[in-house]
Structure 1
Amino acid sequence: MQAPFSFPVLLLIAILVLYIINSIKILKEYERGVVFRLGRVRESAKGPGVILVFRPVDQIVRISLRQEAMEVPPQDIITRDNVTLKVNAVITLRVVDPTKAVIEVANYIYQTSQFSQTTLRSVLGEVELDELLAHRDRLNQRIQTIIDGHTAPFGVKVISVEVKQVDMPESMLRAMAKQAEAERERRAKVIHAEGEFNAAQKLIEAAALLSTQPISVQLRYLQTLTEIGVEKNTTIVFPLPIEMMGLLNKSLSFNPAEEKK
């Protein structure tokens, strides 16, 4: 009894089955596959899910659509007011067109990194140090717009740019510390002067009010003696009537020569 299939036929079937199994590719939800057939790219990227790639006729390049954070190396920058700085940044990007990211550029990560370094130096070199420190959000937006204009032709979207760290020379840090200290002293002196001015105004108002009722001065005098007596000390307080002080002032201002005249 002959076998239904000869050995060469069985071998051919096994090779065909293995080839088909090997041609099955599974792409994750965040992956897309750019397929080249005989060197020509297919119309659109494939995936996610199961796709067939028949090698060696087809070749596939996997591209991730997830966001990627890329750190820009520290750059030596001279600001418009001639201050030398070292500035680095973090860029968040993602691929929006996998086909362009494969066929338009050799390495979109490296290309974006180079654009980021040159843009960071050119933009921050046009501003002064105070503007860099005070308006960082506006500069981040400007850098993002410029880099995104460079990366759009090869299907990469720059989502955000954040200036991460600004390293200044020690001499500049000391100068800024002195400036901040001087500003604090100026504010303290102004506040102290305003307090003295307000206190003087209140004293004038209080004196004018007390002068309307002479007995109020006596009451205030007795209240002050009561406050002194509360403290445990060895101070001897001798109460002197206010009337005696008035008589003493009159006697001191009396001039006999003027009286004879």
Structure 2
Amino acid sequence: MIRLVRVQKFQVALVCQHGGFARLLPAGTHWLWPNETLYTYSRGTLLDKPPIDLPVLLTYPAVAAELDVIDVADNELVLQYENGQFQRVLGRGRWPFWQGVRQFTYQRVDLSKLTIPADIDLQSLLPQPLGAYVRTFVVEAHEQGVLFIDWAFSQVLNPGTYHFWKNNTAVQVQKVDMRQQQLEVSGQEILTRDKATLRVSFFIQYRVVDVLKALVDNKEHERQLYVLMQLALRAYIGNQTLDQLLETKSSLADDVIRHSLDAAASIGVDLRGGGLRDVILPGDMRDILNQVLMAEKKAQANTIMRREETASTRSLLNTARLMEENDMLWKLKEMEYVEKIAEKVSSISVSGSGQLLEQLKGLLGTAKN
């Protein structure tokens, strides 16, 4: 049965018969035969599911004239815009759009190149919809980076965000922290010049100042710095006796750093400071040193005691000489003794003749002969 169909304004319709294309219908009223099928589309939209193969459909001039067909190669992207506003990303393949109503413009991108054109607004297109096609590297404010393309050095990257197209080209960014850092060299067992075994812990503060030397000219600069400080520490301690080391350990860090500056600069590192954290002696060596220390302290104590005894004896001798030459001092000394006795006893009983002081002198045995 013949039927009447209407194609609305801003629409277009395909009529197919027996699985093949029959005709194209513009807006308006049309009659269809019973064996005809109608497919209606809005103008300005994508013909994403054509009723027959697109290459076959495009062989009809009437259809080809109504379609904008965008062909995207394997190494390309096409960005679709309408009135300057982004619409969609077109990947590889054929993209047919019905003409009319909406006017599209297209920007073609070559993915075989790494650099993203400056006129592409990545701020609004990331992370979607371009996230699947873009690789992003972030260099923080306290970092510097080195860009390698196909494993070869390309450039130094300052703090910022960097975008590159995803393709078969290898892109790598290595970063290094430019702030001051600290490295621990701990648990080092080292022989002194007199064959004493020590366990030493040392720390060094440093800062990377040349990112090219640290990341391009050298591999694993942190590991190299660790070995450098380890060898410098061993060389310094190995040339010192145990007594020398214990006496000069406060200056050890300065000496080790001073002798390591040139080697550290060759890996792009500036040494800022450091220190000796621990010096641990074996148990038997520690006992011997404690015994030596105790003997030294005892000798010092004996010397001090003898010196004080000599000074006290000399003072008594001088006092005795003065008292022998001066009766008034003798009397004062007697009164001092009486005062001291009075502090210690509650009462004193004296009897017999004689003066009180003479009796006390006889009692105390302090009478002057």
Q: TM-score range by the shorter chain?
A: 0.7 to 0.9
Equivalent residues, number:
248
CA distance in 1: counterparts of 2:366 and 2:178, whole angstroms: 95
CA distance in 1, matches of 2:270, 2:368: 92
Residues 1:247 and 1:11: Cα distance change in structure 2 (over 3 Å): closer
1:29 match: secondary structure: coil
Shift of 1:147: 3.1
Deviation at 1:5, TM superposition (A): 6.5
Q: Give yes or no for the alignment of 1:48 onto 2:165.
A: no
Counterpart residue identity of residue 78, structure 2: L
Are positions 1:168 and 2:281 aligned together? yes
Amino acid at match of 2:143: E
Query: Structure 2 matches for 1:135-174, cutoff 5 A?
Result: 135-174=248-287
Preserved CA contact (<8 Å) 1:73 1:117: no
1:258 alignment partner in structure 2: none
Where 2:194 maps in the other structure, the secondary structure is: coil
1:194 aligns with 2:307: yes
**What is aligned with 1:253?**
none
Q: Following TM superposition, by how much is the alpha carbon of 1:83 offset from its aligned partner in structure 2, in angstroms?
A: 0.9
The one of 39, 63, 66 aligned to 2:179: 66
Contact 1:151 1:158 in 2 (8 A): yes
Residue 42 of structure 1 aligns to a residue whose secondary structure is strand
| Contact preservation (8 Å) 2:199, 2:279 | yes
Q: Report deviation, 1:128.
A: 0.8
Counterpart-to-counterpart distance in 2, 1:67 and 1:224? 73
- Could you tell me which runs of 5 or more consecutive residues in structure 1 were left unpaired when the two chains were aligned: 250-261
Query: What's the secondary structure of 1:135's corresponding residue?
Result: helix
Higher relative contact order (CA 8 A, sep 6+): 1
> Using a 3 Å threshold, how does the CA distance of structure 1 residues 144 and 206 change in structure 2: closer, same or farther?
same
Give the structure 1 partner of residue 134 of structure 2.
Answer: 22
Q: CA separation in 2, counterparts of 1:214 and 1:72?
A: 77
2:297 to 162, 184, 197: 184
What is the distance in 1 between the residues matched to 2:202 and 2:366? 79
For residues 32 and 54 of structure 1, what CA distance do their matches in structure 2 show?
A: 22
Pairwise CA distance, 1:59 = 3.0
Q: Is the 8 A contact 1:143 1:161 kept in 2?
A: no
Of Structure 1 and Structure 2, which has the larger fraction of its residues in strand? 2
Deviations 1:27-68 (A, max 9, x none): 22111111124544235x221123344553643212211222
Could you say if the C-alpha distance between residues 196 and 73 of structure 1 is closer, same or farther in structure 2, counting changes exceeding 3 Å?
A: closer
Deviation at 1:182, TM superposition (A): 1.4
2:228 to 102, 115, 130: 115
1-structure distance, mates of 2:189, 2:274:
18
| Between 10-19 and 89-98, the greater mean CA deviation after superposition | 10-19
Indicate whether 1:31 and 2:143 are aligned. yes
* Contact 2:252 2:275 (8 Å CA) reproduced: no
Query: Aligned-pair RMSD on alpha carbons?
Result: 3.3
Q: Which residue number in structure 2 is paired with residue 12 of structure 1?
A: 78
1:7 to 1:76, Cα distance in 2 relative to 1, 3 A:
same
Structure with bigger gyration radius: 2
Which runs of 5 or more residues in structure 2 are unaligned? 1-42, 46-66, 80-88, 92-108, 110-124
- SS of 1:89's partner is strand
2:322 counterpart of 1:213: no
- Distance verdict in 2 for CA 1:247–1:187, change over 3 Å: closer
Q: How does 1:223-234 map to 2 (within 5 A)?
A: 223-232=336-345
- For residues 207 and 246 of structure 1, the distance between their equivalents in structure 2, rounded to whole angstroms, comes to 12
What letter matches 2:291 in structure 1? K
1:191 partner letter: I
- The 8 Å contact of residues 133 and 165 in structure 2, kept in 1 or not, is answered as no
Aligned to 1:257: none
**Quick one: structure 1 residues 189 and 38, their matched pair in 2 at CA, closer, same or farther if it must change by over 3 Å?**
same
